[in-house]
Structure formats: structure tokens, C-alpha cells
Structure 1
């Protein structure tokens, strides 16, 4: 996809992977609108030349605010990047609210945005949807059951709509990051990919027309899974 001159919308674009994607798309000549929940972070993005929309995508009102905010704008690239973790624990019913929040943000909102923004994407000469899932969409870890479920659900949805839009002007891309150094993973130890490097692989995939971008160590996980899905699950369940 040629990014120069396109208008892109990046959800969760004021921090982490989303911010880096937005910066690199902008660097390729695109105009970029970013969304987020922090007014301070969005003001900082405005200072860098980005359009901004404040919205909490865990709520229907937040999705409405975003869709209304881009009404009439020729969006050609939709990057569904916004995501949250979950404090859900199976033996603690009080954490179901956290699970619901995660599901609404990570799965419900991207589905709603793909559906409601498809008409404007179809109206462009060239367009793309990028759904950011996770290596955990391939094989889950026990400690993140709801988060993994949302990413696996978004992966399945992405594959299905890619088939539905086959032959159209709208390319559907799935981006699968590994563990990336962001605020969400601040409490985790071990090797992490930088947000800049992860975004660079995703943006390269957008520009070269890939349907699936396996970033960093996800390439190895995908290879293991292609040989033995059961082995991939055994490795990742305690990850």
C-alpha cells in the first residue's frame, strides 16, 4: 500500500506500539488521526502534527465518538491497535468486570469500527484494515486467559473478513506482536521487543502488501505451530 497522501486512523495511537505505528506512517507521508483516553498524551500528539480524537473504546459511546469524529473524512487505513489487559481470575467472580472491559476494548470495538467504517474505506481507491492481535492469538498463556481469548477471537474475525473482502479494494492485514516493551508489560520480566522495532515490521508489512505480519519472536512461534500446534500450546501455556 502506498502510504503517501493517505489518511490513516490509528486507535490507541498516543502510546506504545500505536504511537510508533502512527509516527512511522506519518513519516511515510500519510496524514494520521490517533485516538486515546489521555488528554495530555493526545495534546502531545497534536504538537507533532497529528489529528486527535479522545475516546474510550470500551464503551459504545466511545465508539460513537470516534465514528462521529471521522465522519466525512476519507479514511484509507484503519489500524485497530487499542488494547488492554485483564485482571480476570477464574476463582474471583469480582474480576468479571475487568474481563468484560477487556472484551469490549480488544474485540467488540475493532469489530464495530471495521463494520461502521467499511463504507468510507470502500470509497477510497486503495484501502486497508490492520487488526493488531498478538502471538498469544496463536497459542494462549494460562495467566492471560481473557486477553488471549480476545486476541484469538480478533484473529479469527480478521481471517474471516479477509475472505469476505477478497477481490475488493480493502486489504485486511493481521499484525501479531510478541511481548513488547510498553506500559501494559511494564511488570513483566524477560526479553521484550521495542515498540519502535515492532511498529517498523508492521508498517513494512502494510507497505509491501502482506496479509499477516508476524513480528519478532512470533515468527518462531508461528513456525513451531505450523509443525505441531500441540507443542506450541505446551510451550506457551506457561509462558
Structure 2
């Protein structure tokens, strides 16, 4: 896909991977409309020349409000990047079920709801793409983040099925699977982290080169191990 002249809706675009995606897409000549929840971060991105929309995607009302604000606007690319990392570890105490509900909605239901709203419009574009940002943890879970792993695995399955459903349309369905990335979400994670700029670069490259998947960094190795022995991949990852 040639990104110059394309209009992109990017969720979670005011920080982390999303912020770098916004900048790199803009550098390629795309018009980026980004969403986020933090007003200060949105103001910062607006000062960089981006159109921003404050949106809470952790519930149906927030997603519906975003869709209503978009109205009849046309987009060529939808990037579902927004996500929440929910603390759900019984080794630390009793997890908050309400927090789990918000994370499940933000990570899984919100992308599904946005896709459902936008597919008819995307079908009418000469060239279009849906990019779902999942995780290497969608392949094999880590014990420390069961909610995040479950939602990303769910989004991966949804993406695979959606790609087949839209195979005869002009919409390319892309899954991006990052490793641990150096973002605020992973600030307390002591593992080696990929720079957000490099992660974003590989996602943009996948869009430009019409790849179905972007297996980023160490996820390439995880995919290789999983292809040989899914059980081994699970044994390796579950310890983290």
C-alpha cells in the first residue's frame, strides 16, 4: 500500500507504539487521526500537527461516541492499537473484576466494534487495510498477565477469521505482533525491550509491503518455536 495520501484512524495514538506509528505514518504522507484518553498527551500530539479525538474505548458508550464523532468521514486504514494492561495476578492478592472487564473490552471488544462500524466504508475505498495490534503473548501466554494474553489471543483469532471473510474485498487484514516494547505500559517490566520507534517502523513496513503479519523482533523466534512445538513455546513463555 502506498501510504501517501491515505487517511488513517489510529487508536491509542498519543503514547508508546501508537505515538511512533502516528509520526512515521505522517512522515510517509498519510493524514493521521488519532485517539487517546490522556488530555495532555493529546494536546502534545495536536501541537505536532495531528488531528486528535479523546476517546475511552474501555466500554461500548466510548466506542459508540467515537464512531458518532467520525460521522460519514472516509478512512483508508484502521489501526486498532489501543490497549490496556490489567493487573490480574492472584499471587499478589484478589484481582479487581471491574478492571478486568475494562481491559477485556478495550483490548478485544472495542476493535471488533470499530471494525464492524467501518468495514462498509472501507469496502468502498480503492485500497484499504485493517491493522490489529496483538502481541507475541497471543501465541503463548505469560503467567503474569492472563487478561492481556487472553484478549490478545482472542483478537488474533478474530483477525485470522476476518482476513478469510474479507479475502475477496479490497481490504487487507494485517496482524502486528510486537514483543516487549519500551513503553509506559512496560515500565515495570525488567525484560529487554524493543524501542517503540523500531516496533512502529516494522508495522509501517508491513502495511506498505502488503504483509498479512508483522512478527516483530523476538516474536519471529517465538513463531518459529511455536511452529515446531506449540507445547514448547507455551512452556517457555508461561514462566514470565
* TM-score in terms of structure 2 length: 0.97
Structure 2 partner of 1:70? 70
Structure 1 partner of 2:3? 3
Structure 2 partner of 1:153? 154
Deviations 1:114-148 (A, max 9, x none): 10111111111100000000000000011111110
Structure 2 partner of 1:26? 26
Structure 2 partner of 1:224? 225
Kindly state the Cα deviation for residue 90 of structure 1 after the two structures are TM-superposed. 4.3
Structure 2 partner of 1:43? 43
Aligned equivalents of 1:140 and 1:157: distance in 2?
17
Aligned equivalents of 2:21 and 2:227: distance in 1?
28
Kindly state the Cα deviation for residue 60 of structure 1 after the two structures are TM-superposed. 1.4
Unpaired runs of at least 5, structure 1: none
What count of residue pairs does the alignment treat as equivalent? Answer: 239
Aligned equivalents of 1:165 and 1:103: distance in 2?
25
Instruction: Trace 1:1-239 onto structure 2 (pairs within 5 A).
Output: 1-90=1-90, 93-239=94-240
Aligned equivalents of 2:147 and 2:122: distance in 1?
30
Say if 1:89 and 1:95, in contact at 8 Å, map to a contact too.
no
Helix, strand or coil at the partner of 2:211: coil
Aligned equivalents of 1:116 and 1:21: distance in 2?
23
- Across the aligned residues of Structure 1 and Structure 2, the Cα RMSD in angstroms comes to 1.1
Aligned equivalents of 2:71 and 2:126: distance in 1?
18
Aligned equivalents of 2:66 and 2:26: distance in 1?
20
Aligned equivalents of 1:138 and 1:236: distance in 2?
9
Runs (4+) of structure 1 exceeding 4 A deviation are 90-94
Deviations 1:24-52 (A, max 9, x none): 11110000000000111111111111111
Aligned equivalents of 1:193 and 1:129: distance in 2?
24
Say if 1:35 and 1:55, in contact at 8 Å, map to a contact too.
yes
Say if 2:78 and 2:130, in contact at 8 Å, map to a contact too.
yes
Aligned equivalents of 1:73 and 1:172: distance in 2?
20
Kindly state the Cα deviation for residue 93 of structure 1 after the two structures are TM-superposed. 5.0
Unpaired runs of at least 5, structure 2: none
Helix, strand or coil at the partner of 1:75: coil
Say if 1:17 and 1:196, in contact at 8 Å, map to a contact too.
yes
Aligned equivalents of 2:140 and 2:112: distance in 1?
21
* TM-score in terms of structure 1 length: 0.97
